[in-house]
């Protein structure tokens, strides 16, 4: 199997796994059992003994290079040191919230509210604050 490490799920941060033989006995794909996300099915059917290993390598490479739109990063990669970040959660009226990882509760929290951010799937760093305009000398 591939030397490349399998990245966490981009949607839930869960631990993904490689599945062999889902469609054909030598195909391979990556699957997240936590949220049921799937990667591409890789099935180079050339009859060679190394075929399965090549399919596994291709499935892992495809999973690891998938795009996360607009700079969003998987929640598993977010800082867990109390740094405030923008959190994203799907299917909520308020899908974007500022939050931080609370090490005592082991959950994402909304600052000053004591409310946990349920089902955060992605994060982004907070933008830099706006600069104050500088006055030009006459």
pLDDT in tens, 96-136: 889 999 888 888 888 888 778 767 888 899 888 888 776 66
- Residues 85, 50, single domain; the answer is no
- Residues 60, 75, single domain; the answer is no
Across the range 74-88, mean pLDDT stands at 90
Q: Are 94 and 126 in contact (CB under 8 A)?
A: no
Report pTM.
0.48
- Residues 60, 106, single domain; the answer is no
Q: Report how many domains make up the chain.
A: 2
- Residues 25, 61, single domain; the answer is yes
| 134 in a structural domain | no
| 53 in a structural domain | yes
Number of Cβ within 10 Å of residue 7's Cβ equals: 17
- Residues 61, 78, single domain; the answer is no
- Residues 78, 38, single domain; the answer is no
């Amino acid at each position: 199997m591939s030397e490349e490490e399998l990245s966490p799920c981009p949607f839930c941060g869960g631990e993904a796994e490689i599945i062999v033989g889902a469609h054909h006995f030598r195909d391979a794909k990556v699957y997240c059992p936590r949220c049921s996300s799937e990667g591409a099915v890789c099935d180079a059917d050339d009859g060679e003994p190394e075929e399965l290993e090549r399919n596994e390598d291709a499935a892992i490479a495809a999973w690891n290079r998938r795009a996360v739109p607009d700079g969003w990063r998987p929640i598993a990669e977010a800082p867990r040191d109390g740094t405030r970040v923008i959190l994203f959660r799907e299917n909520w009226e308020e899908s974007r919230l500022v939050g931080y990882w609370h090490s005592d509760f082991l959950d994402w929290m909304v600052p000053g509210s004591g409310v946990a951010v349920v089902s955060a799937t992605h994060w982004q760093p907070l933008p830099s604050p706006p600069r104050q305009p500088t006055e030009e000398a006459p």
